[in-house]
Amino acid sequence: MSFAVGFIAAVVFAVLAPVLQFVARARAWSLAPVIVLAIAALVSHLLGVLLGVLIVPQFRYWDAASIFGFGVMGYVFAFGAVYKSVSLDILLGLAERPEGTAPLSDVVERQVPALFRGRTGILVDGGLVEQVDSRFAATAAGQIMAGRIGRLRRAFGIGDTGLYDFGE
């Protein structure tokens, strides 16, 4: 029965997370989407534990938590794969065209710059990058974050993919 409680809590999370994302956008909360997901996970987890304690005579927390954690991780993985994905935005842009096609030059000249301006805006708004004349520079906070990301990439065995090699 504890596994069922974990499943119910995961379903609550899967329902609560998009609702909170919608409310955050509608009310212009200054919370990053990942923080909203963390809030949804915390609330749904606490509700699941409360439910388990109240209705299951021999509630086994770790059984419930394992199912809940698996469900939340799957959701967050899927969310991360589609959130702010440049590749998916390009695909959606192509699919929305009546003919469903576009020359590569059109995609590169019109769609990609807007996508990257949006991503740069996120970095500026987050205080990680600042504009200096016509160039961008990492702030002190950005340097710290870049160091952390570099250490995480090494820890996960992620090498240089070449995708974002701005060495030139």
Q: Where are the domains of the chain?
A: 2-82, 86-118, 126-168
Q: Which two tokens stand for residue 130?
A: 């600042």
- Residue 79 above 70 pLDDT? yes
Burial class (CB in 10 A: 0-12, 13-18, 19+), 41: buried
In this predicted model, what pLDDT tens digit does every residue of 10-52 receive, in sequence order? 999 999 999 999 999 899 888 888 999 999 999 999 999 999 9
- Residue 166 above 70 pLDDT? no
Q: Are 68 and 13 in contact (CB under 8 A)?
A: yes
In this predicted model, what pLDDT tens digit does every residue of 127-165 receive, in sequence order? 999 989 889 999 999 999 999 988 888 887 876 655 544
pLDDT at residue number 163: 52
**Percent of the chain whose pLDDT exceeds 70:** 94
Span 110-119, average pLDDT: 82
pLDDT at residue number 161: 59
119 pLDDT tier (thresholds 50, 70, 90)? confident
Mean pLDDT of the chain: 88
Q: Are 127 and 109 in contact (CB under 8 A)?
A: no
